[in-house]
């Protein structure tokens, strides 16, 4: 017989995602999760199994709710250049939003020694960044095939540079953030890359 969930699962996941996003995996304790989710320990283990399993579930939720709209902005623009700018504009929209739990992307927050020591987390972070790099490279390659960007442009390396810049952007925004400054930096980078 299937056990009925005695709490609002979707709402509890949203609250857990926000807590993990604000404090990271290592700094988020089980008691904090139970309190914010409004559930008891028995319900937690019966439904979510473990803190690690919950974290992976929250990461997937974050990618659907936060990362995918940015990728859609990248893919739906008329050109790779416009798409990359739309992607970074969506990133800055999130940084501008006072309801955003942290200026650090939830995936970027995984890039801490204690988190990456867990093989499942390291694999998840690598896969997530690899997929994002693939979207950048695919978009650049499509424009290259249409003659919109130079044929000698190394699209894989440019995609790597964009990923590296994005990771640095999150970290620098923790120290200080001004949208116009980050827009200028992104513009300079893309112009130097021929975009």
The pLDDT tens digits of the residues spanning 46-93 come to 888 899 999 999 999 999 999 999 999 999 999 999 999 999 999 999
0.75 surpassed by pTM = yes
The pLDDT value given to residue 44? 84
Rg over alpha carbons for the chain, rounded to the nearest Å, is 19
The pLDDT value given to residue 68? 97
Q: Which of 86, 88, 121 has its CA nearest to residue 106?
A: 121
Q: Do the Cβ atoms of 171 and 103 come closer than 8 Å?
A: no
Arch. (CATH architecture) of 9-192: Orthogonal Bundle (1.10)
Question: Could you tell me the mean pLDDT of each successive run of 10 residues in the chain, 195 residues long?
Answer: 62 93 92 89 84 94 96 96 97 95 91 88 94 97 94 94 96 95 96 92
First to last CA, the chain: 58
Q: Do the Cβ atoms of 44 and 85 come closer than 8 Å?
A: no
Q: Which of 68, 44, 64 has its CA nearest to residue 16?
A: 44
> Which ranges in 38-99 belong to alpha helices (H)?
41-48, 51-62, 68-76, 80-96
CA angle 37, 117, 101 (to 5 degrees): 35
């Amino acid at each position: 017989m299937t056990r009925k969930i005695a709490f609002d699962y979707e709402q509890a996941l949203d609250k857990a995602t926000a807590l993990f996003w604000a404090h990271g995996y290592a700094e988020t304790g089980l008691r904090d999760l139970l309190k914010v989710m409004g559930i008891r320990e028995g319900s937690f283990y019966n439904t979510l199994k473990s803190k690690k399993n919950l974290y992976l579930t929250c990461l997937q939720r974050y990618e659907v709710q936060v990362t995918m709209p940015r990728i859609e902005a990248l893919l739906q623009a008329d050109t790779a250049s416009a798409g990359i700018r739309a992607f970074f504009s969506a990133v800055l929209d999130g940084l501008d939003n006072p309801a955003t739990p942290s200026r650090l992307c939830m995936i970027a927050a995984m890039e801490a020694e204690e988190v990456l020591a867990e093989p499942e987390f390291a694999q998840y972070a690598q896969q997530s960044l690899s997929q994002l790099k693939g979207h950048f490279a695919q978009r650049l390659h499509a424009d290259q095939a249409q003659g919109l960007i130079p044929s000698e442009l190394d699209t894989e390396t440019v995609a790597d540079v964009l990923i590296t810049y994005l990771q640095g952007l999150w970290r620098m925004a923790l120290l200080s953030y001004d949208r116009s400054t980050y827009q200028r930096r992104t513009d300079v980078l893309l112009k130097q890359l021929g975009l």
